[in-house]
Amino acid sequence: MKVYTVGTSSAVPTSERGLAANLIDFNGERLLFDCGEGTQRTLMKEKLGIMKISRVFISHWHADHFSGLLGLIQTLELEGREKPLYIYGPPRTEEFTERILDTGYFNRSYDIFAEDLVEGEEVIGEDYQVIPFEVEHGINAFGYVFQENDNVKANKDKMKELGLGESPKIGELKEGKTVEWNGNKIEPEQVVETVPGRKVVYSGDTSKCQNLIEHAEHSDLLIHEATCLHEMISDRRGHTSALQAGEIASEASVAKLALTHFSRRYRGKEEELLEEAKSIFEDTELGQDGKMFDLSPHRPE
């Protein structure tokens, strides 16, 4: 499972950073979270396979979070896409998607389905769910939880203790069956454990709020906006400072924080944002356009 910060500027792109977009590559399926201006170019530059994008999740309908959507839709048509594309977001997503599709002249070789979501509604994929939750941004706006399904896995240390090694009986144990090995009966619970799936949370645009902290709890990766330094946050209603992003990561006990959505006033000075967040939460990294975060599967303890 790989996660990419695709576009990391806020409001206005820069020569180094496009507007808001993030991609999760899970078992070969690509899920796009926001699609700001410049998204296609970064996806192409990093060879991230735009034709494999199956679902697009819009956090809210401010232009810097959807301005790349029309171009993406048209490119998929020009490349001969046949599979449907699904677009999800807060209330009015169906309406705004229809407006985009009515813009300009172009044929469509594939179906596009748009859906308005409500908080807590699950979008079910193969071995995962995406769950929207409300954030505080002054308009209808979501953050998203990507949650991998729990997995049944064999504990290698327990296998070794029981002399199972790489026994073909492991498959039967995972199916809940009792097996015989070297004259002994082995029950599934002696070897097999249910391991929580990986969890990624994307904040979208928001001021610091409890609902985000609760939904981000114990995530493997939190992708969070850091629009400005804390000294400027009173002028950025509906947004979060780098310091607050660090507080959220700490309060939610996440494993790693990736900062994104930087105001252009910090162009070339993004390290100041990083330092501010790390003063609260050490395991913080700056998002870059095309930067990859590789999340390894969870293993039995």
DSSP, residue by residue, the chain = -EEEEEE-BSSS--SS--BSEEEEEETTEEEEEEE-TTHHHHHHHTT--GGGEEEEE-S--SGGGTTTHHHHHHHHHHTT--S-EEEEESTTHHHHHHHHHTSS----SS-EEEEE--TT--EEETTEEEEEEE--SSSS-EEEEEEEPPEEEE-HHHHHHTT-TT-TTHHHHHTT--EEETTEEE-GGGTEEEEPPPEEEE--S--S-HHHHHHHTT-SEEEEE--B-GGGGGGSTT--BHHHHHHHHHHTT-S-EEEE-B-GGGTT-HHHHHHHHHTT-SSEEE--TTEEEE-PPP---
pLDDT of residue 191: 77
CATH of 2-150+196-294, one of 3.40.50.2000, 3.40.50.2300, 3.40.50.300, 3.60.15.10: 3.60.15.10
Domain boundaries, the chain: 2-150+196-294, 153-192
Task: Note the pTM of the prediction, 2 decimals.
Answer: 0.91
pLDDT of residue 167: 62
Measured CA to CA, the distance from residue 189 to residue 162 in angstroms comes to 13
Q: What is the mean pLDDT of each run of 10 residues along the chain (301 residues)?
A: 98 96 97 98 95 97 97 94 97 96 86 96 97 96 97 77 68 75 75 89 97 98 97 93 98 98 96 98 98 93 70
Tell me if residue 64 is catalytic. yes
pLDDT of residue 166: 62
pLDDT of residue 152: 80
pLDDT of residue 192: 80
Which listed residue (25, 34, 64, 220) is catalytic?
A: 64
